[in-house]
């Protein structure tokens, strides 16, 4: 045996009982990961105490000072020492660990903070105020104090008792951002409570970095106002409300339109019984709900609130209580996916208002280059050549539209005929519709329509691609997916557990065109595959489905592949860029967009049209 093995000793190890100080510091390492963790625990205690206003202050990213002031019920002088003892809590009586209605319940936060920092608690209850200080786990005597109401918890010099932890903290700015994120999540969970966050680095009153006043009204009104204050009015104005109930689980909240997507998953806020969580199941369900509307590099924005009987969810599976376990995870996932998809379908052709704002910003005059050597602006794509336009016009035969003569549509020409009054009436009626009446086609790709109070610019290819795609999906849902029988069934060897899992989903897979049968042991036989996929690697597809089942408990792999093919078919079967359209064709396209759900974005999540109000256009020309 080599002598340099550090973990192997020739002497018999001795089992020792650690002292309370070491135990508390070890436990604190699980509960208090960083300053934001301490803020989370203290603010949750304030919420559990019935506070209506909570003031949080921090210094140097929370490393030197964290102070939380609330107007809750307070703690009596006799209970202060007990509150700083491990596993002492007023939240539960210990008889049922599944029936939990509060944020905290373990009784670990305060003693853990006192073990690694300098903690002072001042609280008023029953007409008297008292203060207690704990330094590195050593508790001082209770002293009288002056306080008008509630509780003040002050934590200084976090991790001074465990200096090694300080080396692993990030910069003050990063830690401050983490604190802000925690406070904002709790503010969304409790819209009827007022929150104030201050940065007091350097002393004094500091500066307010976040403020949210208590909201009034019912649940949805208060939540909508709070989300506008926390996430911005753009999110609140471009999100659809959610409210659904299924077998004891209720989903409420707001989900943003697909055209209001983000480049990273920074605007996804998930709550279970009011508790902010970062749960893999819920994140996967949210992603699955938008799978048909966003490309892989875009992420949805949403604030989802799942409420249920506490006995249906276990919150005691992670020290930070950031993960949960549902008794019926498939039911929760299905509730999220179907509710969001139905809400987005009810939004119809609607696209986010930020699309118009970005368009107006692009129309403003460009700033001159900083120097003569500055690089010229690079555009995403160039205009097609006349040859390419002619070839595209001759080659394509779009679904539902006859090929037109090679003549440009000349807009707004008043015909000298008796039908003129009828045409004027028709145009006036169309202008009152959401997408207005077509007036022109520019660059053989964009339809310009006039509405009562502005104008709409439609990308004809992207819009028709979505319409064709939705039609193909409806046909597939009505008739199931056609399958093709394999001349020789493909045998896939799996473990018995994986084979049993797949065979349990055999009926669902068959509706999607994949027919499997048991083949003895852990092997399965793939007899039919979806015809629309053409020649496929059945074994690779089976293993992809298994991987997704292991990760999320449910697989959308096969359906996603089929929908990807339908999307490509829709792309090739839609109106191409460079095709001239007659006025009646353009109006027919606009009317179909108004009647088709999800037509506000193409198959990749990009907007299919931009709406500009007349007031915005006039402002561009300085007419206001």
Strands 268-272 and 302-307: parallel
Strands 239-246 and 194-199: unpaired
CATH architecture of 219-346: 2-Layer Sandwich (3.30)
Reading the block at residue 40, the tokens are 């989370």
Judged by DSSP in three states, 299 sits in strand
The total number of residues shown for the chain amounts to 624
User: Class of 20-211 per CATH?
Assistant: alpha beta
Alpha helices in 396-495 (DSSP H): 420-431, 460-479
User: How high is the pLDDT of residue 5?
Assistant: 59
C-alpha distance from residue 214 to each of 40, 56, 149, 188 (Å): 19, 15, 18, 11
What gap in Å lies between CA 180 and CA 198, rounded to an integer? 10
What gap in Å lies between CA 623 and CA 616, rounded to an integer? 10
Angle formed at CA 339 by CA 335 and CA 342, multiple of 5 degrees: 145
Reading the block at residue 131, the tokens are 């203060």
> How many CB atoms are closer than 10 A to CB 319?
17
What gap in Å lies between CA 444 and CA 95, rounded to an integer? 72
C-alpha closest to that of 314 among 108, 109, 96: 96
What gap in Å lies between CA 63 and CA 157, rounded to an integer? 6
Q: Is 232 left (phi over 0), alpha (psi -120 to 50) or beta?
A: left
What gap in Å lies between CA 339 and CA 305, rounded to an integer? 12
Q: What is the CA radius of gyration of the chain?
A: 31
Cα dihedral across residues 250, 254, 255, 261: positive or negative: negative
> How many CB atoms are closer than 10 A to CB 559?
19
What gap in Å lies between CA 252 and CA 219, rounded to an integer? 9
Q: Are 574 and 468 in contact (CB under 8 A)?
A: yes
What gap in Å lies between CA 108 and CA 86, rounded to an integer? 6
Alpha helices in 347-407 (DSSP H): 353-363, 386-395
Q: Are 448 and 437 in contact (CB under 8 A)?
A: no
E strand residue ranges, 161-279: 194-199, 207-212, 239-246, 249-256, 268-272, 275-277
Judged by DSSP in three states, 397 sits in coil
C-alpha distance from residue 615 to each of 233, 455, 490 (Å): 20, 11, 64
The DSSP secondary structure of 106-169, one letter per residue, reads SS-HHHHHHHHSEEEEEEEETTEEEEEEEETTEEPPPEE---SSSEEEEEESTTSSSHHHHTT-
Q: Which CATH superfamily is domain 386-467+576-620 in?
A: MutL, C-terminal domain, dimerisation subdomain (3.30.1540.20)
Q: What is the tens place of the pLDDT at every residue in 123-154?
A: 999 889 999 999 988 899 999 999 999 999 99
CB environment 76-85: b (16+ within 10 A), e (fewer): bbebbeebbe
What gap in Å lies between CA 362 and CA 354, rounded to an integer? 12
Question: Which residues is 138 bridged to in the sheet?
Answer: 135
C-alpha closest to that of 565 among 528, 591, 532: 532
User: How high is the pLDDT of residue 413?
Assistant: 36
Reading the block at residue 343, the tokens are 């809400």
Q: In sequence order, which residues have a C-beta less than 8 Å from that of residue 569 and are 6 or more positions away?
A: 468, 472
Residues of the chain with CATH 3.30.1370.100: 482-572
What gap in Å lies between CA 457 and CA 448, rounded to an integer? 5
Judged by DSSP in three states, 365 sits in coil
DSSP label at 61?
A: G
Q: List average pLDDT for each run of 10 residues in the chain, which is 624 residues long.
A: 57 78 69 89 92 96 96 92 78 63 72 89 92 91 93 94 85 95 95 96 89 89 93 90 93 92 89 90 89 82 94 79 84 92 85 68 55 46 50 49 40 39 58 88 90 90 86 78 86 89 84 86 89 81 80 64 68 73 90 89 82 84 74
What gap in Å lies between CA 301 and CA 282, rounded to an integer? 13
CATH architecture of 482-572: 2-Layer Sandwich (3.30)
Q: Are 290 and 556 in contact (CB under 8 A)?
A: no
What gap in Å lies between CA 449 and CA 430, rounded to an integer? 10
Question: Which residues is 70 bridged to in the sheet?
Answer: 54, 151
Reading the block at residue 106, the tokens are 């373990």
What gap in Å lies between CA 341 and CA 289, rounded to an integer? 6
Q: In sequence order, which residues have a C-beta less than 8 Å from that of residue 508 and are 6 or more positions away?
A: none
Q: Are 266 and 177 in contact (CB under 8 A)?
A: no
What gap in Å lies between CA 189 and CA 504, rounded to an integer? 38
pTM here is 0.72
Reading the block at residue 524, the tokens are 């399965």
Residues of the chain with CATH 3.30.1540.20: 386-467+576-620
Alpha helices in 438-529 (DSSP H): 460-479, 496-503, 506-511
User: How high is the pLDDT of residue 414?
Assistant: 38
- Tokens 């020649």: give the residue: 535
Residues of the chain with CATH 3.30.230.10: 219-346
């Amino acid at each position: 045996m080599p002598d340099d093995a550090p973990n192997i000793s020739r002497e018999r190890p001795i089992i020792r009982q650690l002292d309370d100080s070491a135990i508390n510091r070890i436990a604190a390492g699980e509960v208090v990961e960083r300053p934001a963790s301490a803020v989370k625990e203290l603010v949750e205690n304030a919420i559990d105490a019935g506070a209506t206003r909570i003031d949080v202050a921090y210094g140097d990213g929370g490393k030197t000072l964290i102070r939380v002031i609330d107007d809750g019920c307070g703690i009596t002088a006799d209970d202060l020492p007990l509150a700083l003892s491990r596993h002492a809590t007023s939240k539960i009586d210990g008889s049922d660990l599944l029936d939990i209605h509060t944020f905290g319940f373990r009784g670990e936060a305060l003693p853990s903070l006192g073990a690694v920092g300098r903690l002072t608690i001042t609280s008023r209850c029953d007409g008297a105020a008292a203060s207690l200080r704990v330094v590195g786990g050593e508790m001082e005597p209770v002293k009288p104090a002056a306080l008008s109401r509630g509780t003040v918890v002050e934590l200084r010099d976090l991790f001074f008792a465990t200096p090694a932890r300080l080396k692993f903290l990030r910069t003050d700015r990063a830690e401050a951002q983490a604190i802000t994120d925690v406070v904002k999540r709790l503010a969304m969970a409790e819209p009827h409570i007022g929150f104030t966050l201050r940065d007091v680095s350097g002393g004094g009153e500091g500066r307010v970095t976040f403020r949210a006043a208590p909201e009034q009204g019912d649940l949805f009104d208060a939540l909508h106002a709070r989300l506008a204050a926390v996430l911005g009015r753009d999110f609140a104005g471009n999100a659809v409300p959610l409210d659904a109930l299924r077998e004891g689980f209720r989903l409420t909240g707001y989900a943003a339109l697909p055209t209001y997507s983000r480049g990273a998953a920074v605007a996804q806020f998930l709550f279970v019984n009011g508790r902010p969580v970062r749960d893999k199941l819920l994140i996967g369900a949210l992603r699955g709900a938008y799978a048909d509307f966003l490309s892989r590099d875009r992420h949805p924005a949403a604030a989802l609130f799942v409420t249920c009987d506490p006995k249906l969810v276990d919150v005691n599976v992670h020290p930070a209580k950031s993960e949960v376990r549902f008794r019926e995870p498939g039911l929760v996932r299905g509730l999220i996916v179907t509710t969001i998809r139905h809400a987005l379908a009810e939004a119809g052709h609607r696209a986010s208002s930020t699309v118009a704002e970005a368009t107006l910003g692009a129309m403003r005059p460009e700033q001159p280059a900083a120097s003569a050597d500055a690089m010229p602006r690079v555009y995403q794509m160039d205009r097609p050549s006349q040859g390419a336009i002619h070839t595209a016009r001759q080659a394509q035969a779009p679904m539902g539209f006859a090929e037109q003569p090679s003549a440009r549509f000349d807009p707004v020409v008043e015909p000298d005929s008796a039908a003129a009054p009828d045409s004027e009436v028709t145009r006036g009626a169309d202008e009152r519709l959401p997408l207005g009446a077509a007036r022109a086609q520019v660059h053989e790709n964009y339809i310009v329509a006039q509405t009562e109070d502005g104008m709409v610019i439609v990308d004809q290819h992207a819009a028709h691609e979505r319409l064709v795609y939705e039609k193909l999906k409806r046909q597939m849902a009505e008739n199931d997916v056609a399958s093709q029988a394999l001349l020789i069934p493909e045998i896939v060897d799996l473990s018995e557990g994986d084979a049993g899992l797949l065979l349990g989903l055999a009926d669902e897979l068959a509706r999607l065109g994949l027919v499997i049968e048991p083949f003895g042991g852990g092997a399965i036989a793939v007899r039919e595959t979806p015809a629309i996929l053409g020649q496929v690697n059945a074994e690779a597809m089976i293993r992809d489905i298994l991987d997704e089942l292991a990760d999320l408990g449910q697989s959308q792999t096969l359906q996603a592949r089929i929908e990807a093919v339908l999307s490509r078919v829709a792309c090739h079967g839609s109106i191409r860029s460079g095709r001239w359209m007659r006025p009646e064709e353009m109006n027919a396209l606009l009317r179909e967009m108004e009647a088709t759900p999800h037509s506000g974005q193409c198959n990749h999540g990009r907007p299919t049209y931009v709406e500009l109000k007349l007031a915005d256009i006039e402002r561009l020309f300085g007419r206001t």
